[in-house]
Structure formats: C-alpha cells, structure tokens
Structure 1
Amino acid sequence: MTTFPELLRALRMDAGMSLAKLAQQVHYDRTSLHHFESGRRPAPLEVAELADDALSADGRLVAVWNREDQERREAAATHRVRAAALAMSRDLTALADLDIAELQDGVAVTAVDYLASPPGPMMDRAHVLRGEAFERIRSGHHRPADRSDLYVAAGRLSGVLSYALLDMGDSEEALEHATAAGRCAEFAGDAELSAWVAGTKSLIARFQGDYGRALEYVRDGYQWVGSGHGTGEARLRCGEAQCLANLGDSRTANLALDGAETARERIRRPDTLEGLFGFSRAKQSYYAGSSLIWLQGGHDAERAAREALDAIALWQSGPVEERSLDDERLAFIYLATARVQLDDVEGAAEALAPVLSLPVEEQISWIVKRMDRVAGMLSAPRYDGNRTAAATVEAINSLAA
C-alpha cells in the first residue's frame, strides 16, 4: 500500500517539479517539504490539500493522508490503553498488601474468548475488567471472605494482558503484567495460577530467545504442581521441551514431552478455568510440534509433523471454546517447517496455504516470526530452481510486507 510520502514524491517527480518549486506552492520551506516527502515528519493536512492541487492529484493525496491520520489516531489510542494497563500492573506488583474484592464477572468469558479473538480488543476488555477489580482493591469495598477470589481474578486478568502484549510483540510489557499476575497468585495462595504464571514467564523468555532463563522459570514452576490438579505440570513440561529443543538437546526434549504425557495421565481434577488458562490435548500436541522443529530434522521432524497434524485435527473437531485460532494457524506453520526439514517442499506449501490468506490484523507477532523462518529455510541454495519454494518465499514476503 502506497504511503503518503511515497505518493507525494512520485507525483512530484511525474510532474517534473523540483522540491523547491513545490515548497513554494504549499507555503513551506524546502527542508520541511523534504522531511514530509521522506517520512521523517508527518505532513499537516494543509500541505496534503495544497500539494494535491499543485500536482493535480484529484484528491489522491488527501485520501492517503486521511487514511494515515486515522491509523495514527488508532495507534495513539492503543498506546494510551497499553500505558494505562502497564501502570496498573506496576501498581499491583508494588503493593505489599492488596485488599480483596469479589470476583469480577467476565473473567471466565474473557479467558475463553481470547482463544478466538485478536489481542487488541481482548487487551481493552481485560484492562476495563481489571480496573473494576483494582478500584475495589484500593477502596476496600468487598467482603472479607472474597479475599482470595479477588486476588485470583486480578491475577488472571493480568495474565490476559500479558498474553495480549506478547501477541502484539512487546515482551517487556508482557513480563510486567505476568509479574503482577504472579504477585496476585502469591497473595491468594493459588498454586494453580502460580504454575500458570511460571509457564507464561517461560513463554515470554522463549519469545526473547533467552532459553536458559526460560528453563529456570519452568523448573521453578514445578513447586506449584502435583496431586493431579489441573494441567499445570503438562504445560510446564512442554515448555521445558521447547527450551531443551532450542538448546539443541533432542534426547531430553523428547523425554520432557513424554513426561508431559505422563503428567496428563495423572490428572484427577480439571483446570479451574478453561480457555487461556487451560491446556487442552490439542495444545499439548501443538507444543510438541513447536518444540521439535528446532532440532535437526529426521525423527524429530517426523514427530513434529505428527504432533502438529494431531493438534490441528483436535482443534478443528473439538469444542469451540477450546479452539485457539492463533495457535491452530501456528500449527500449520510448524507442520510446514517440519516438512521442509524432511524435504517435502510441496507439502510445506500446502500447509502454509491457510496462513498465507490471513488479513493483516490477524498476523500476530508469532506468525510473522515463524513464517520468516520458513522463508529462510526455503531460500537455501539446495532449493535453487524449485518453483514451489520460490513461490512460497515470495508469498511469505508479500504477507510480511
């Protein structure tokens, strides 16, 4: 999509008009116009209107300016919500003793809705809900018996914010929200939420490429699991497998995945909350596939492909409330990655087809990162002359652009 600076320069060049001449027409100095044309500074609407007339653009410049101005306004609004949410997480982290309020309506619905919704709207909803909880915490308008419940509610909403910011690509803000969730879990004495927070902090560290620290978070989280309550141990062991695979340890990564299977067999009580805070069988297969693609192919790639296919099938045939659309799309990318490792370029291209058709607003940060890796693999010299590989790389690059 052509930007305002690009269109302004192209129209000026087509008209054979110098920068100085156009500067006179829009009543700005040449340096300012150069900044507008290079994108260093946004142009005022007045410049867009005068340049549109001077270059006979028939309203095209003004239309592009209006579109970009709306995008800037939306970005500013998102920034304000993020800043306010982050400030509240810092307050929750810093409070030495939170008072308690009742559980907030909507936490469970938000946890389920997150799996099939873009992160931006979910961030907004979690921020509003947590604001209500936070006000009751600060004011003390609650019953003493609700103490633990409100800690857990505030902690889970902080967890939703953590995931939303990570999906939007900001791991530092995500970690601060996760830290707030951990403090709330600590005050509530909720081992299940504490284990979830440990797994989420590990996920954030893996996003940052710090697999040593990610492994520390996982192993610290094991103190909160046991007695067959919930899927916390299975999630942590899958996180451990991701760390070990990225550190190049195939044997122990596979052992960790086997340990996750054993942990699931020991479950006697389900998770307290589903959706974002659950760890379905499909999610477990997804984690296995996303772990083993970081090894050297062969048997690891074969298992990764099987696990990714299992995850996709389970999500597509299972309950709607357990279906995580972003993870399902990533599973297609992990399947494609494993197939490239197995030299199945045609199969990889087939796996990527559903993801390549996504609109821009559904391309979360994980999708962009993982698709870029597939493009790099298909650009290797061994695939020179392979038309399918070249076409797939071109499609991935177009999606990123």
Structure 2
Amino acid sequence: MSIREFAAHLGVHERLVSKWEAGGVRVRPRPVNQAALDTSLARSDDVVHERFSAMLAPVDGADRLAFVDAGAVTGAVPEVLSERELIMAAAHEASEHAAAAEGTNVGATTLAQLDADVRRIANEYVHAAPAPMMVEMLRVRRRVYRLLDGQQKPVDTSHLYLLAGTLSGLLANASTDLGYLDAAGEQIRAAWAYAELSGHNGLRAWTRGMHALIENWSDRPRNAVQLARSGQEFVGPGLGRVRLLNIEARVWARLGSDVETDRCLHAAEAAAGDRRDELHDEIGGVFGFGPAKAAYYAGATCIQLGRAEPALAATERAIALYSSGPPLQRSYGAESLARVDNAAAHLINGSLDGAADALRPVLGLPEDKRIAQLSERLVGLRRRIAAPTYRDAVEARGLDERIEEFCVQFRLPGASGRA
C-alpha cells in the first residue's frame, strides 16, 4: 500500500504514518494504533516470521538476543526491551521450540502451555487495557489454528477446539469493550461453534451469556432473553447459572418488567451452589462471576428500573469488594461501571455531591482503559443531570462539562452508542 492507502486503512492521517516510518521515541503509535498495526502487518506468514523471529542488534555494547513475539510487545518495538518483554519473549521461544521437539502435531506440553496462556490472558484482561491484550489473544489463537490444521488424536482435537472457543470468547469480550458490536457478534458465534465441536457445557453456557449481552447492547433484548435462557440448559446450580440469570434479569429490567426481573434475581439466589465449573471457577478472570461482579450486575439492574436504594447498596458493595480485593483480580471496567451506576443512584436521590464523588476515579481513567460501555453509560447519566432538578445548579453544569470532556476524548471508531 502507499502511505495514503495505509493511513486510510488504519483511520489516521497520512502525516502520522510518515512520522511512524521516520521513527523516534516521540512519535510512537498509541496502544490502539499499535494493535491495529500489529494485526494489519501480521496478515501473512512471511511478515509474521520476519517481524517476530528477528534477532535484535547489540544494545549498549552488549550482545543481547531477544525473540520478540506479538504477545510480548504491547506498544511499538523499543530500542531497548523492557524486562517483562525480554522475559516473555524468551518464554514464548521456549514453548514454541518444545512443541516442535515433541515430534507430534500436538502433545501434552503444548496443550498445557496453551491452557496456561488462556488462563493468564483471561485473568490479566480484567486489569489490562483491551487493545494490547487482543494482540496476545490473536497470537495464541493463531497457534491453535495452526495445530488444528494438522493431525492429532480426537481427544486432543476436542481440547484444541475448546481453546479456540475460549480465545474467540475473549476476543468477543474485547471487541465489545472497544465498541465493535458486529465484530463481537461474529467472534461469539465462532466461540459457540467451537463449544459445540468440543462438547464443553461450561463454554456453551458462558458463550450464550456473552451473546445475550451483545444482543442486548445491540437493541435486540428479546433475542438476548432467549440466549440467556438457552444457556441455562447446560449448567446446574453454580456460578454459570447464577451469571445467566443475572444477565436475563438485566435484560428484563431494560424491557421494564419488574415481575420477570425479580423472578430472575430470586432464581439466581437459589441457583448458588457448590457445583464447580472448569471455565467459571477454575479459569476465572473474564469467565468468572464472583461476589463483586454479581453486586455490580445487581446495581445495574436496579438502576434500569429506577430503584435507587437497592442500587446504592449493590454498587457500594461492588466498589468495596473490587477496592479491597487482590489488585490482579480488580476489574477496572466493572468497578468503573459500578461507579457510574452509583452516581446515577445518587442523582435519583437528589445528591449531586454523591454523584460527583462516585465519578471522580472514572473520569481520571487512562485513555486506553476507557471502554465503550463507559461512554455509553455516561450519556445516560448526562440525561439525568439535564433534568429540571439540576438544570440551574452550577455544580451540575461543571459535572456535565467534565463528563462531556471525557466522552469527547474517548471517541472510538465503531462505538455503538447504546446505553
């Protein structure tokens, strides 16, 4: 492509591409642009091998060998590798070589490494920016696809389909966070196909729930209800069923049905049990549904129905659980959305100061962590601020301006605009 064509492909100005080509520390691509560059430039095997198998030249007079793979680089390739990039690059090189040394298309070591990759990605994603994580998801799924193109035992083929399904589900989640609902729908349908091929009920249930959320955000709530219900066929009492019932409750709340919402919430309480599921309990992370996430969902459901007091209680519980929990399990996305719902509950109760306090950490989020649902949910919050109750308040205008500035800076291509 010419510079002009490539710039149009990426959705940036051609002068910016020229600056990237010229190099230099001050003109490195931002994380979102880098993710697009990684996926665009790694379309062919030649480019993949040329870029990710390169030996780096000597650094500061010392010869340092570094194999740089897609998952090890979250920004532009630096002149000097960071400690994490070097360590991860060495680990990827070792696992690839060990896979070849096993002498078969796929062996126990390879599958164990891929399982570990999926577990790591699912848990890192809750506290990492989505765009760079997508590069790592694509790297691992591409490896799974290469293995599926070969020959292996049926049990190993099933295992690979399970891995492909979980990775496609993670990519659906990331696509949603970045505002690309059509792409998310395509990814989640692929995840369902792999769940069927692997015969894994936990993945079937999780995929149906994720698909229901995508349909709900795409203004197809009736489809969302059917998907959430169909997923319940594959799980008994436990986190999988609790999650699906909470998702169905959120959809019914959007449809304005107090009766169906309460039915689902009561059923979710009754569905809690000690039956463990490999995906929801063992892997966790994106696939988990712990007390903090359950409280966040309950708050979102109550806000949809205008129930301020239970929404306040639920969102405050979610915020407290996320804030006091292990940092590596702290989902900044769910916590931030809970804070927006907490602000909405304060506004319903007439507390502008409470809303401003709840939003302060949200409005200070780094740009690469401002997921699409935040901007969309804040639009609904601005409508509450514009109500007659706050129309003439100076504090309300100031808060509205800060939210507007956040949303303007946030603009993402493909953002759905759904609340």
TM-score computed with the length of structure 2 as normaliser: 0.71
**Residue 383 of structure 1 aligns to a residue in which SS?**
coil
Structure 1 gap segments, 5+ residues each: 1-39, 49-65, 85-98
Structure 2 gap segments, 5+ residues each: 1-10, 20-25, 45-104, 409-419
2:323 aligned to which of 313, 316, 320: 316
Contact 2:378–2:403, Cα closer than 8 Å, also in 1: yes
| Root-mean-square deviation over aligned CA pairs | 2.8
2:363 aligned to which of 356, 373, 392: 356
**Residue 293 of structure 1 aligns to a residue in which SS?**
helix
**Residue 106 of structure 1 aligns to a residue in which SS?**
helix
Q: Which amino acid aligns with 1:133?
A: V
Contact 1:158–1:177, Cα closer than 8 Å, also in 2: yes
When residues 286 and 78 of structure 1 are mapped into structure 2, their CA distance, relative to the original with a 3 A threshold, is farther
Q: Does 1:173 align with 2:169?
A: no
Contact 1:116–1:323, Cα closer than 8 Å, also in 2: yes
C-alpha deviation, 1:123, in angstroms:
0.7
Matches within 5 A, 1:241-256: 241-256=249-264
Contact 1:100–1:150, Cα closer than 8 Å, also in 2: no
Q: Which amino acid aligns with 2:234?
A: W
1:366 aligned to which of 367, 373, 381: 373
Residue in structure 2 matched with residue 32 of structure 1 by the alignment: none
Residue in structure 1 matched with residue 118 of structure 2 by the alignment: 107
C-alpha deviation, 1:272, in angstroms:
3.3
Q: Does 1:134 align with 2:156?
A: no
Contact 2:295–2:315, Cα closer than 8 Å, also in 1: yes
Percent identity over paired residues: 33
Residue in structure 1 matched with residue 231 of structure 2 by the alignment: 221
Aligned length: 324
When residues 69 and 384 of structure 1 are mapped into structure 2, their CA distance, relative to the original with a 3 A threshold, is same
When residues 76 and 240 of structure 1 are mapped into structure 2, their CA distance, relative to the original with a 3 A threshold, is closer
1:306 aligned to which of 310, 313, 331: 313
Residue in structure 2 matched with residue 260 of structure 1 by the alignment: 268
Matches within 5 A, 1:1-400: 42=13, 74=34, 76-77=36-37, 80=40, 102=111, 104=114, 105-140=116-151, 142-226=152-236, 228=237, 230-264=238-272, 266-270=273-277, 271-295=281-305, 297=306, 300-400=307-407
Separation (CA, whole Å) in 1 of partners of 2:137 and 2:356: 37
Contact 1:275–1:321, Cα closer than 8 Å, also in 2: no
When residues 100 and 158 of structure 1 are mapped into structure 2, their CA distance, relative to the original with a 3 A threshold, is farther
Separation (CA, whole Å) in 1 of partners of 2:120 and 2:374: 25
CA distances 1:294-322 after superposition (whole Å, capped 9, x unpaired): 12x2xx22111111111111112223443
Residue in structure 2 matched with residue 16 of structure 1 by the alignment: none
CA distances 1:210-250 after superposition (whole Å, capped 9, x unpaired): 21111111111111111x3x411001000011101000112
Separation (CA, whole Å) in 2 of partners of 1:82 and 1:389: 48
CA distances 1:76-106 after superposition (whole Å, capped 9, x unpaired): 516628989xxxxxxxxxxxxxx98735141
